[in-house]
């Protein structure tokens, strides 16, 4: 009996040990399976993430390729010098140039009957004098200001005012090639018996009267110009200084010519305001210009004049109010902002062109600017692009690549050159640089 009890006790211990062993085995197997499942799930997650990342990469790549393809398909029209580059800056200025005009204002044709240009608003005259004094780019003292619907109308008024009244033949209007493409049209459009287009000033000969237009910086090639016709006594000089502002070129000294033209469109970018002004030393010429304006349009829009005055005053304020400010605040000054923008555009444009041997750009000398106190090379509103090698027609070549420009023949020069505006909106300019870079490196 005692022996049986002892055997049963041993069997119980053995059974308990076996059961504990089975439990531990199942526990260990379960843990191992859980680890395998966990690792399997983790690996499956990693694989899924890799697939997702790969798919996202392909989608992003496809989007970029589509975007690049869209950029390549887009027609880039830079034929005209539409200065939309300035739009962003003026949006940031908010209401600083907002003008409110009461309905009763500007009923009369007259602004100041004592003034030669009797339709010139005094606030515009004050703004013009203030801005030229600030920048130091033109002498205004002892000059009459004649305002017009852009410099286009003023140039035609000057042709009328400076042509000899009793000449037996039309006086020749000339300009050194490459010249602004619209000058021939300005001179020939009215088919006047007083004046006519005479072509390239370099080729003008003889002692007969002439009118020479000197554009500096020049449109289209950005060069700094002086008169080229040698017979100075027989000629009248018109200095078109539309681009003589510190975002385009260094201001070496105040221009001091008898006849000087400026325009809001190239100074501040407000081409749609249609406003320009002439600084005239000879009162008789100023009177004849005013006479032409009266016959042509009975003056210039006073609404445009008041808006132009507000804009020019805002430009001057942006500099005078930021004197002694931080560098960041000074960058909000109009000419500082515009200079930096032009410098950046010319840098990336030059880099794109220089990637290959297909194109070339003019080289400009550096000069110290009395306004900004910096030394820099001219950075024109237009790029005078030359196609090298066997490409004879640069405008046609670019058109095949969906870039619209204006060929050199329009400017009295070789078709190996073409003019491209550097003043479009940001995305258009970026597309231009991308495409030129692609062409240059191909």
Domain that holds residue 420: 75-86+325-441
Would 3 be classed as within a structural domain?
no
| Domain identity same for 113 and 168 | yes
The whole-model pTM stands at: 0.84
Distances from the Cα of 4 to the Cα of 7, 8, 11, 60, 180, angstroms: 5, 6, 11, 82, 127
Examine the fold and report which residue of 299, 320, 341 is the final residue of a domain before the chain moves on: 320
Q: Are residues 272 and 340 in the same domain?
A: no
End of a domain among 304, 320, 336?
320
Helix (H, G, I), strand (E, B) or coil at 104: coil
Whether 139 is covered by a domain: the verdict is: yes
Please tell me the predicted confidence (pLDDT) of residue 73.
Answer: 84
- Convert the pLDDT of each residue in 382-412 to its tens digit: 999 999 999 999 999 999 999 999 999 999 9
Same domain, 126 and 235: yes
- Please report the pLDDT score of residue 68 as a whole number: 52
* Cβ(411)–Cβ(177) below 8 Å: yes
Helix (H) or strand (E) holding 319: helix 302-320
Q: Mean of the per-residue pLDDT values for the chain? A: 88
Predicted pLDDT at 35: 42
pLDDT digits (tens, 9 = 90+) for 92-120: 999 999 999 999 999 999 999 999 999 99
Residues 56, 61, 64, 69, CA torsion sign = negative
* Same domain, yes or no: 79 and 110: no
In a domain, 62, yes or no: no
- Residue 1 has a pLDDT of 46
Please report whether residue 174 resides in a domain: yes
Q: Identify the CATH number of the domain in which residue 139 sits.
A: 3.40.640.10
C-alpha closest to that of 149 among 266, 302, 310, 309: 302
In a domain, 19, yes or no: no
Enumerate long-range contacts of 291-299, CB under 8 Å, 24 or more apart. 291/160, 291/161, 292/156, 292/157, 292/160, 292/161, 293/117, 293/119, 293/146, 293/148, 293/153, 293/157, 296/153, 296/156, 296/157, 297/149, 297/153, 298/109, 298/119, 299/109, 299/118, 299/119
pLDDT for residue 234: 85
Q: Are residues 301 and 197 in the same domain?
A: yes
In a domain? residue 391 = yes
Say if residue 337 is in the same domain as residue 235. Answer: no
Q: Domain check: are 360 and 335 in the same one?
A: yes
Same domain, 368 and 418: yes
On whether both 288 and 330 belong to a single domain, the answer is no
Residue 93 in any domain: the answer is no
Where a domain ends, among 287, 320, 353? 320
Nearest Cα to 270, choosing from 79, 15, 89?
89
Does residue 374 lie within any of the structural domains? yes
Res 206: pLDDT: 78
- If asked whether residues 296 and 180 sit together in one domain, one would say yes
What per-residue confidence (pLDDT) applies to 442? 79
Q: What is the DSSP letter of 205?
A: -
Q: Tell whether 355 and 337 lie within a shared domain.
A: yes
What total of structural domains would you count in the chain?
2
Could you tell me the CATH number of the domain that includes residue 378? 3.90.1150.10
205 and 106 part of one domain? yes
Instruction: Per-residue pLDDT tens, the chain, 442 aa: give them.
Output: 444 445 445 444 435 444 445 444 544 445 444 544 444 555 554 555 455 555 555 545 444 444 555 567 899 999 999 999 999 999 999 999 999 999 999 999 999 999 999 999 999 999 999 999 999 999 999 999 999 999 999 999 999 999 998 888 999 999 999 999 999 999 999 999 999 999 999 999 878 999 999 999 999 999 999 999 988 888 999 999 999 999 999 999 999 999 999 999 999 999 999 999 999 999 999 999 999 999 999 999 999 999 999 999 999 999 998 876 656 666 789 999 999 999 999 999 999 999 999 999 999 999 999 999 999 999 999 999 999 999 999 999 999 999 999 999 999 999 999 999 999 999 999 999 999 999 998 7
């Amino acid at each position: 009996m005692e022996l049986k009890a002892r055997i049963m006790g041993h069997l119980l211990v053995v059974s308990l040990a076996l059961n504990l062993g089975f439990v531990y085995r199942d526990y260990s197997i379960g843990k191992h399976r859980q680890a395998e499942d966990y690792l399997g799930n983790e690996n499956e997650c990693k694989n899924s993430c890799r697939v997702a990342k790969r798919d996202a990469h392909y989608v992003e790549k496809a989007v970029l390729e589509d975007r690049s393809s869209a950029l390549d398909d887009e027609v880039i029209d830079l034929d005209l010098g539409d200065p939309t580059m300035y739009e962003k800056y003026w949006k940031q200025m908010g209401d600083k140039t907002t003008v409110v005009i009461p309905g009763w204002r500007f009923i009369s044709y007259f602004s100041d009957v004592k003034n030669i240009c009797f339709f010139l608003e005094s606030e515009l005259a004050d703004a013009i004098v203030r801005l030229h004094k600030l920048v130091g780019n033109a002498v205004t003292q002892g000059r009459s200001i004649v305002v017009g619907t852009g410099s286009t109308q003023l140039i035609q008024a000057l042709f009328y005012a400076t042509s000899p009244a009793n000449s037996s033949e039309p006086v020749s209007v000339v300009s050194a090639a490459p010249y602004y493409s619209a000058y021939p049209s300005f001179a020939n459009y009215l088919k006047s018996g007083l004046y006519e287009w005479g072509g390239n000033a370099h080729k003008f000969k003889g002692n007969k009267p002439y009118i020479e237009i000197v554009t500096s910086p020049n449109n289209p090639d950005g060069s700094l110009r002086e008169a080229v016709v040698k017979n100075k006594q027989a000629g009248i000089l018109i200095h078109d200084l539309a681009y003589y502002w510190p975002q385009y070129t260094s201001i070496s000294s105040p221009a001091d010519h008898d006849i000087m033209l400026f325009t809001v469109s190239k100074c501040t970018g407000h081409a749609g305001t249609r406003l320009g002004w002439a600084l005239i030393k000879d009162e008789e010429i100023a009177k004849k210009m005013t006479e032409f304006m009266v016959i042509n349009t009975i003056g210039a829009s006073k609404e445009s004049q008041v808006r132009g005055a507000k804009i020019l005053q805002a430009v001057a304020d942006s500099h005078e109010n930021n004197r002694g400010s931080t560098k960041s605040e000074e960058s909000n000054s109009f000419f500082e902002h515009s200079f930096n923008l032009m410098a950046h555009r010319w840098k990336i444009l030059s880099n794109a062109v220089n990637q290959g041997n297909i194109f070339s750009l003019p080289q400009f000398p550096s000069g110290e600017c009395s306004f900004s106190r910096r030394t820099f090379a001219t950075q024109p509103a237009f790029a005078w692009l030359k196609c090298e090698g066997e490409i004879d027609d640069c405008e046609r070549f670019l058109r095949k690549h969906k870039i619209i420009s204006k060929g050199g023949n329009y400017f009295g020069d070789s078709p190996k050159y073409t003019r491209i505006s550097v003043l479009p909106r940001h995305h258009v300019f970026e597309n231009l640089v991308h495409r030129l870079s692609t062409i240059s490196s191909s």
